Chain A
């Protein structure tokens, strides 16, 4: 009993995990503010987006949804003490994350070079397109750092408590980033005309 109490004192991880949840809320508020800003702008000024979103976004959406799946499998493997599998799926998740990143950049290339829709635009709705995707990529970057930390922990044979803690943090953040992208994509699809 005393032993457990002591462990609890030292490794009180639940509040730290909660810290990340709160951070997720704060991040969500940024996107909520930006999309609200878009609505105020587009509604108030009669400036719609009027952009046929490139197909690349469908591919990137597929990639990031798949990455959530592989991360789920990695977490499950970690809980079942199958560490080789955990690492494999973590690597896959990271790979899919980078794929998403690359496709988003490619989508920007299509938008600018093929469609002539630039960031600096008299129609700020179109600038918003870049702000949404760009700020989301910043979050992807942060998510990759969480994945790397989990991966390093797994290779260094950290105690299982810590390993699961890292996995949980990575999962909370990565799924959040995934959901945010789906939110943004659906938002853009609904407002593209």
Chain B
């Protein structure tokens, strides 16, 4: 009876809502508080930032490939940043810095978590919206303003920040140190403060939504791995971003107020500066306490997305669901006690280095658990090679080949010669750069129908995009390992001018051309993406025959996600190809009582009444089978 009453109310309630919501353009598309729209805003801003960061990388790749050549076009495009058709050396540093900052923070943190946590958390746990839609909206707009400020630094006299995305002092603390330490650095700091605020507002919302607003029946162990990944990512952000704020606050005091937290005994332009007693290593501690969890903030949502996409497209339950969750928890926990492996060459006590080395290498265990589980999920699956699936497999590939070199770099003894060489560049571009980007793209292809009211992206262009990007990413980053082993340092404007390294020029040229082809391949994606928003093929409500809740919501976006009552969840998200079932998927909303032929005994672990019913059914329908 009460169920009836509830349903009754829900209908009238929605009716009510329709009357109340007179949405204007401004409230619907701009200052939207709807999680689906905010997700789209994050995605499109993220893609824009990614394109910009990619173009920046092409610019500095051209410099690396042709250090002696003059390109008049560059002068036309960049003006004083490229006098006589060659990049200004200090502008080269700015390009590297802003490329790193945008990719790590604006694309792979905000663009990835912002898009998919916003879109999928409420839809997959069964909530009408986020815990606080207003804070969620603020989160996007803080991010937007942060992006504008970051990009605005290209339009000032001295150019953008140049001390690298890690902004180590003293370079970042002394405005007079170089061009990139002046106003550009100030803008960088201002932008990042807003970015952290945005990230915290988003993360706090995600955690609160996952813990408080799950629908009936959705206990934590029934959540899809995507939600687990977003949830743990958000917790990492909440715990680590404030530490960056603390570090940056002290840096601002050093820059602008004359304190000596990070500075000591510095001679600049032949003049001894008044700072004394500070410790630049202190900044590194504070930075990497964020910085290391940050790389997991980047990769974990991509892992969650891949787990889901791989399971759906292999038509098999994810292999080792619990192990997948525990390995995510393990990675999250370990991420806070490994930051010292970025600082092996700071004169750290070798014993402490040993401790950080051990904790770092332990991360290989949960990472390997995840990798093997993905492979075991694909193993003998009924694989559907959709573009999303290809990108998810691509993530696994990059995660393996980039992860292996992590074991090299995690060893203090090996890190000392490899530190700050191209080996490091190769390592992190594969393991967190390419892998996370591929996870994000897998998500875009897979959930495009959820993002843009039932449209699909074109498959053919998707395949083209995948293969070109996949091959080129390896062509770009694989040779860098060898450069690094040879000792080629990163962040050098013209390292091939040194006699020791000039034999790498041809490799550099090769890498640059591979990068250019990879960049061109993204045109296929961009065209596909924007064209499909308006003209994409219409999809059915559940185009991939997936189990999760978001595919039970209507194709047309409505405020509150489901008309009437929110669906109840009866099972985990991975009942694919269950023996005895009529179809090869059973959505989470189907009760066990409707799938008697496919039920297993372990489906009734904490449900003795259900087990009894099931046993009765087995006795009647399968008299030959013995039930224990």
Interface residues, chain A, with chain B CB atoms under 8 Å away: 1-3, 5-6, 9, 12, 14-16, 18-19, 22-23, 25-30, 32-34, 36-37, 40-41, 44-45, 47, 119-124, 127-128, 131, 135
Query: Is the Cβ of A121 less than 8 Å from the Cβ of B259?
Result: yes
On chain A, the residues within 8 Å of B2 by CB distance are 1
**A-B pairs with beta carbons under 8 A, tally:** 125
On chain A, the residues within 8 Å of B205 by CB distance are 19
B208 interface residue, CB < 8 Å from A?
yes
Query: Is the Cβ of A16 less than 8 Å from the Cβ of B9?
Result: no
Residue of A nearest to B263 (CB): A124
* B240 CB, nearest partner CB in chain A, Å: 8
Residue of B nearest to A35 (CB): B246
- Please report the C-alpha to C-alpha distance between residue A127 and residue B258 in the assembled complex, in whole angstroms: 10
- Please report the C-alpha to C-alpha distance between residue A105 and residue B12 in the assembled complex, in whole angstroms: 57
Query: Is the Cβ of A119 less than 8 Å from the Cβ of B259?
Result: yes
On chain B, the residues within 8 Å of A135 by CB distance are 249
B398 interface residue, CB < 8 Å from A?
no
B77 interface residue, CB < 8 Å from A?
no
One of A2, A30, A36, A37 near B9 (C-beta < 8 A): A2
Given contacts A18-B207, A22-B203, A119-B259, 11 further A-B contacts (CB under 8 A): A9-B13, A15-B131, A16-B131, A16-B208, A25-B238, A33-B286, A34-B250, A37-B246, A40-B282, A119-B257, A120-B260
- Please report the C-alpha to C-alpha distance between residue A80 and residue B204 in the assembled complex, in whole angstroms: 32
Given contacts A2-B6, A40-B282, A41-B261, contact A123 B208 (CB under 8 A): no
* A136 CB, nearest partner CB in chain B, Å: 13
Query: Is the Cβ of A5 less than 8 Å from the Cβ of B9?
Result: yes
Query: Is the Cβ of A9 less than 8 Å from the Cβ of B282?
Result: no
- Please report the C-alpha to C-alpha distance between residue A18 and residue B131 in the assembled complex, in whole angstroms: 9
Sampled A-B contacts (16; CB under 8 Å): A2-B9, A5-B6, A6-B13, A16-B131, A18-B212, A23-B200, A29-B240, A37-B286, A40-B281, A45-B277, A45-B279, A119-B257, A119-B259, A122-B277, A124-B259, A124-B261
On chain B, the residues within 8 Å of A121 by CB distance are 259-260
One of A12, A25, A29, A127 near B213 (C-beta < 8 A): A12
In the complex, chain B residues 228-246 whose Cβ is within 8 Å of any chain A Cβ: 238-243, 245-246
- Please report the C-alpha to C-alpha distance between residue A14 and residue B127 in the assembled complex, in whole angstroms: 14
* A174 CB, nearest partner CB in chain B, Å: 19
On chain A, the residues within 8 Å of B246 by CB distance are 30, 33-34, 37
Most-contacted residue by chain A among B242, B243, B275, B289 (CB, 10 A)? B242
On chain B, the residues within 8 Å of A34 by CB distance are 246, 250
Query: Is the Cβ of A26 less than 8 Å from the Cβ of B259?
Result: no
Give the B interface residue count (CB, 8 A). 48
Given contacts A45-B279, A122-B277, contact A127 B238 (CB under 8 A): no
Query: Is the Cβ of A16 less than 8 Å from the Cβ of B132?
Result: yes
- Please report the C-alpha to C-alpha distance between residue A27 and residue B247 in the assembled complex, in whole angstroms: 14
- Please report the C-alpha to C-alpha distance between residue A15 and residue B289 in the assembled complex, in whole angstroms: 29
B554 interface residue, CB < 8 Å from A?
no
Interface residues, chain B, with chain A CB atoms under 8 Å away: 2, 5-6, 8-10, 13, 128, 131-132, 135, 200, 203-205, 207-209, 211-213, 238-243, 245-247, 249-250, 253, 257-261, 275-279, 281-282, 285-286, 289
- Please report the C-alpha to C-alpha distance between residue A26 and residue B200 in the assembled complex, in whole angstroms: 8
On chain A, the residues within 8 Å of B278 by CB distance are 124
* A4 CB, nearest partner CB in chain B, Å: 10
- Please report the C-alpha to C-alpha distance between residue A1 and residue B2 in the assembled complex, in whole angstroms: 7
Most-contacted residue by chain B among A18, A36, A123, A131 (CB, 10 A)? A18
Residue of A nearest to B258 (CB): A120
Residue of B nearest to A21 (CB): B208
On chain A, the residues within 8 Å of B128 by CB distance are 9
Pairs A-B, 3 closest by C-beta atoms: A15-B131, A2-B9, A33-B246
* A93 CB, nearest partner CB in chain B, Å: 25
Main secondary structure of the interface of B (DSSP, over half): helix
- Please report the C-alpha to C-alpha distance between residue A37 and residue B205 in the assembled complex, in whole angstroms: 29
Query: Is the Cβ of B243 less than 8 Å from the Cβ of A25?
Result: no
Query: Is the Cβ of A33 less than 8 Å from the Cβ of B259?
Result: no
Query: Is the Cβ of B204 less than 8 Å from the Cβ of A30?
Result: no
One of A12, A14, A26, A40 near B241 (C-beta < 8 A): A26
On chain B, the residues within 8 Å of A128 by CB distance are 261
Given contacts A1-B5, A12-B213, A16-B132, contact A127 B259 (CB under 8 A): yes
Query: Is the Cβ of A15 less than 8 Å from the Cβ of B261?
Result: no
- Please report the C-alpha to C-alpha distance between residue A40 and residue B132 in the assembled complex, in whole angstroms: 38
On chain B, the residues within 8 Å of A120 by CB distance are 257-260
On chain A, the residues within 8 Å of B289 by CB distance are 33
Given contacts A121-B259, A124-B260, contact A19 B241 (CB under 8 A): no
Query: Is the Cβ of B260 less than 8 Å from the Cβ of A19?
Result: no
* A94 CB, nearest partner CB in chain B, Å: 25
* B600 CB, nearest partner CB in chain A, Å: 34
Query: Is the Cβ of A131 less than 8 Å from the Cβ of B279?
Result: no
- Please report the C-alpha to C-alpha distance between residue A32 and residue B245 in the assembled complex, in whole angstroms: 12
* B38 CB, nearest partner CB in chain A, Å: 16
One of A19, A45, A124 near B132 (C-beta < 8 A): A19
- Please report the C-alpha to C-alpha distance between residue A2 and residue B564 in the assembled complex, in whole angstroms: 13
Query: Is the Cβ of A37 less than 8 Å from the Cβ of B260?
Result: no
- Please report the C-alpha to C-alpha distance between residue A14 and residue B132 in the assembled complex, in whole angstroms: 11
Query: Is the Cβ of B277 less than 8 Å from the Cβ of A124?
Result: yes
Query: Is the Cβ of B245 less than 8 Å from the Cβ of A30?
Result: yes
* A44 CB, nearest partner CB in chain B, Å: 6
On chain B, the residues within 8 Å of A123 by CB distance are 277
On chain A, the residues within 8 Å of B207 by CB distance are 18, 22
* A179 CB, nearest partner CB in chain B, Å: 16
Query: Is the Cβ of A44 less than 8 Å from the Cβ of B281?
Result: yes
On chain A, the residues within 8 Å of B8 by CB distance are 2
Most-contacted residue by chain A among B135, B211, B245, B257 (CB, 10 A)? B245
Residue of B nearest to A3 (CB): B9
- Please report the C-alpha to C-alpha distance between residue A103 and residue B601 in the assembled complex, in whole angstroms: 68
On chain A, the residues within 8 Å of B208 by CB distance are 15-16, 18-19, 22
- Please report the C-alpha to C-alpha distance between residue A30 and residue B203 in the assembled complex, in whole angstroms: 16
- Please report the C-alpha to C-alpha distance between residue A5 and residue B131 in the assembled complex, in whole angstroms: 17
One of B13, B132, B279 near A15 (C-beta < 8 A): B132
- Please report the C-alpha to C-alpha distance between residue A3 and residue B131 in the assembled complex, in whole angstroms: 21
- Please report the C-alpha to C-alpha distance between residue A25 and residue B243 in the assembled complex, in whole angstroms: 12
On chain B, the residues within 8 Å of A26 by CB distance are 200, 204, 238-239, 241-242
- Please report the C-alpha to C-alpha distance between residue A124 and residue B262 in the assembled complex, in whole angstroms: 9
On chain B, the residues within 8 Å of A25 by CB distance are 238-239
- Please report the C-alpha to C-alpha distance between residue A33 and residue B277 in the assembled complex, in whole angstroms: 20
- Please report the C-alpha to C-alpha distance between residue A26 and residue B196 in the assembled complex, in whole angstroms: 11
